[in-house]
């Protein structure tokens, strides 16, 4: 057994020579079987529209076209995707009744090659009845807002109010109360490689084989099998040896695997689809835009007594697993590195006529950390204290580990004051403060940011239990 520590040591990469010499094996490099045909997706130009019908005869008459799949086919041959809320908002791989965001897939054309498929997709005519759209998350909850899913009855996909300790008492005893509103835009990562799928169907076995550059095959496999209506041993799921980046985007419950499987079944040919860059930017996956309200209760010495969190996450036209992780993934560390025990969380996930959301770099955590740290800065300003000092006074202490947070998270170990001191030393904090004073005296802007966070190193899928309504 080696005693060598790898922490802090440079580790030589072993994959670079193969990748830099063009020997990578990505999804678009795969032609895993003979007679592979290509798919092109017809997408909605409307943010909200009822689908009245399809005219596909012109596309089917074109050379090399073997099939056109519509929402009617998908509704007949598949089930809706599973979601982590109880709201009955059915989500299929193609729009079945209405298009609910620009870029939503409404039909698929399969042809002998991609060029023919793209040309034929332009020949498909979808008849729409445009409907009023709503894109603002607060507007979507107003009584007269357009409703995306009539079966739900509102645009609220899920709501939970979680109370830890006694936040009402904390605010009643507070000597200082600070309130702030936050608004975050949607954001998205852009991996070099877009999404891709190759699917085949065996009528003899009633079984599917799917190749896809998906990050979590062991999660997606049972979900896709359920959608396709087959036992898990009738779905073989293969991930290529290389994936050209993801940043979390390729871990959402993407509809395209089930969609291409249906296309392969109906056309009786292997089907390949590679997302183009426009499709990726238009309708792939993004981090949620959010409106949040935060309240902080504190004493005059800077001790935090409690906080109240309220946020509305905009998840787009449908809820897609692993949402509502946008609200609940960091539930074990809602309080960060700080000692306060009294907390109220009011979380809503809201549907609007925007594209769908899912994991993106820093999934669910960045919003939370920014809000907490901004409240610490506002408290420091109110007390005319150094922002570092306010944080130091509220840190979990070394002798308190292992520490159980009020929301149930277990912090196994740490020395947060020492870590803070080391960071300040490495940054030359006192010298920066002196430089800041000189710059401001000369009329120049000079800011210094300080932020502390406890970030989970793994994803605890138990947050789904937090998201689901107790009933």
Which residue spans within 193-288 are E strands per DSSP?
196-202, 207-212, 235-238, 271-274
Mean pLDDT of the chain: 92
pTM of the model: 0.90
Which top CATH class is 139-188+287-395+456-467? alpha beta
Closest CA to 325 of 364, 360, 289, 370: 364
The pLDDT of residue 459 is: 60
pLDDT in tens, 252-291: 888 999 999 999 999 999 999 999 999 999 998 888 899 9
**Extents of the domains making up the chain:** 139-188+287-395+456-467
> Cα(45)–Cα(433) distance, rounded to whole angstroms?
53
CA–centroid distance for 64 within its chain: 38
pLDDT at 391: 98
The whole-number average pLDDT for the span 427-435 is: 96
Instruction: State how far the Cα of 177 lies from the Cα of 168, in Å rounded to an integer.
Output: 12
- Residue 463 in this model has a pLDDT that exceeds 70: no
pLDDT tens for 97-150 read 999 999 999 999 999 999 999 999 999 999 999 999 999 999 999 999 999 999
Contacts of 58 (CB under 8 A, 6+ apart): 123, 124, 125
Which residues have C-beta within 8 Å of that of residue 1, sequence separation ≥ 6?
none
């Amino acid at each position: 057994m080696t005693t060598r520590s790898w922490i802090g040591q440079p580790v030589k990469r072993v994959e670079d020579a193969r990748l830099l010499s063009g020997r990578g094996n990505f999804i678009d490099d795969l032609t895993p079987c003979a007679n592979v045909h290509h798919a092109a997706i017809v997408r909605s130009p409307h943010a909200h529209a009822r689908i009245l019908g399809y005219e596909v005869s012109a596309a089917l008459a074109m050379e090399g076209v073997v099939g056109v799949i519509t929402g009617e086919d998908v509704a007949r041959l598949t089930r809706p995707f599973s979601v982590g809320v109880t709201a009955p908002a059915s989500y299929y791989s193609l729009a079945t009744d209405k298009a609910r965001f620009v870029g939503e897939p409404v039909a698929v054309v399969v042809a002998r090659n991609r060029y023919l498929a793209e040309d034929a997709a332009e020949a498909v005519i979808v008849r729409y009845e445009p409907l009023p759209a709503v894109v603002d998350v607060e507007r979507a909850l107003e009584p007269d807002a357009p409703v995306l899913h009539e079966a739900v009855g509102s645009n609220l996909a899920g709501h939970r109010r979680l109370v830890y300790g006694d936040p009402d008492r904390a605010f009643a005893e507070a000597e200082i109360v600070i309130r702030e509103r936050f608004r975050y835009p949607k954001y998205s990562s852009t991996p070099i490689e877009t999404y891709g799928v190759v699917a085949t169907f065996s009528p003899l076995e009633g079984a599917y084989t799917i190749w896809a550059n998906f990050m979590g095959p062991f999660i997606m496999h049972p979900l896709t099998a359920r959608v396709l209506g087959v036992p898990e041993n009738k779905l073989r799921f293969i991930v290529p040896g290389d994936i050209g980046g993801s940043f979390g985007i390729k871990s959402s419950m993407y509809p395209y695997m089930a969609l291409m499987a249906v296309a392969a079944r109906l056309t009786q040919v292997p089907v390949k689809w590679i997302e183009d860059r426009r499709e990726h930017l238009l309708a792939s996956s993004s981090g949620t835009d959010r409106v949040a309200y935060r309240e902080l209760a504190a004493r005059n010495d800077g001790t935090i007594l409690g906080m109240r969190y309220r946020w509305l996450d905009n998840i787009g036209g449908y809820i897609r697993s692993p949402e509502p992780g946008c609200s609940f993934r960091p539930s074990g560390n809602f309080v960060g590195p700080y000692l306060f025990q009294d907390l109220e969380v009011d979380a809503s996930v809201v549907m609007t006529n925007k594209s769908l959301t899912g994991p993106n770099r820093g999934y669910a955590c960045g919003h939370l950390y920014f809000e907490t740290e901004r409240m610490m800065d506002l408290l420091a300003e109110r007390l005319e204290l150094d922002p570092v000092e306010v944080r130091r006074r509220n840190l979990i202490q070394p002798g308190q580990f292992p520490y159980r947070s009020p929301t149930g998270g277990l912090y196994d170990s740490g020395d947060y004051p020492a870590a803070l001191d080391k960071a300040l030393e490495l940054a030359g904090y006192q010298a920066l403060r002196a430089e800041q004073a000189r710059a401001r005296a000369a009329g120049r802007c000079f800011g210094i940011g300080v932020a502390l966070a406890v970030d989970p190193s793994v994803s605890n899928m138990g947050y789904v239990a937090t998201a689901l309504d107790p009933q």
